[in-house]
Amino acid sequence: MAGLLSWAAVALAAAQTAPGTPAGTPPDGERLRRAEGFAESLEWTGQDSLRFAFGGVTVVVDPLVGPSGSDRADFILITHPHQDHLSPASVEAWSGAETAVIAPVSVVPEIRKFHEGPIEGLKPGDTFKLGDATLEAVPAYNAKKQNFHPKANGWLGYVLDDGKLRVYIAGDTERIPEMREIRADSILLPLGQVYTMNDVAEAVACVADVHAVLAIPVHWGQYEGSAEDVRRFGELLGSKARLFVPNRKKTF
Ligand SMILES: [Zn+2]
């Protein structure tokens, strides 16, 4: 009888978890609830310019504006040095005595020109402790239009994991084979058309590659990607993943 009960428990657990998801992955409803909680908490000022709390620390990504108050970041993540991602004035405005800047190894010299504090240079595959969370650096590059974000530059996306939620910030990238090795509950990705994704359907394929339950389009409404692309993105996602469109703020 005990054997039958434990078999039933295993069968029930299997029924609640999508095939192919790693062991220990909570049911999709719980993953979605956590992913939505994170999405609602983040602040976005366009492109990849983000501020959020994760692992008990304040994280800023590719900031295009500084803080409006006296807040400082614990960690500033830079994905690559294009001017719509690396703003020296904003990095300096977010930097306090304890702030660490995390950037691709190849970008460290450029940041060192204006920044005196700690800079951690990462390569794809490297991991780093981010408060109580871990950060993994993953590749971000163009597979087809190679002149904008060449793979050889070692520019980055980041996967953050606090033990309850995995968030993948894709950076400026097309759909690349490495994405199939990434698992995330939530993905923040560019909709592209010009510099990143080749079309909206490609962005939808990225969401499926990483098995995300929530997709957050960023990097649109400025140099590439339109509100119509966002609408189409949601349409193509259908029931495969929930769409979350953050409000674009002017200031943090
Ligand atoms: Zn770029």
Residue 22: the pLDDT is 58
Residue 25: the pLDDT is 65
Q: What is the mean pLDDT of residues 157-185?
A: 97
pLDDT band at 2 (very low <50, low <70, confident <90, very high): very low
Q: How far is the CA of 42 from the centre of ligand 1 (A)?
A: 21
Residues measured by CB to lie within 5 Å of ligand 1, the ion: 82, 172
Residue 21: the pLDDT is 55
Q: Are 190 and 204 in contact (CB under 8 A)?
A: no
pLDDT tens digits for 13-56? Answer: 444 445 555 556 667 889 999 999 999 999 999 999 999 999 99
Q: Express as a percent the part of the chain with pLDDT over 70.
A: 90
Three-class DSSP labels, 179-222: HHHCCCCEEEEECCCCCCCCCHHHHHHHHHHCCCCEEEEECCCC
Q: What is the mean pLDDT of residues 135-159?
A: 94
Minimum mean pLDDT range among 16-30, 53-67, 237-251: 16-30
Q: How far is the CA of 183 from the centre of ligand 1 (A)?
A: 23
Q: What is the mean pLDDT of residues 157-167?
A: 97
Domains, the chain, ordered by start: 27-243 (3.60.15.10)
What's the predicted TM-score (pTM) here? 0.89
pLDDT tens digits for 182-214? Answer: 999 999 999 887 888 899 999 999 999 999 999
Q: How far is the CA of 195 from the centre of ligand 1 (A)?
A: 7
* Beta strand segments in 4-66, E: 43-44, 50-54, 57-61
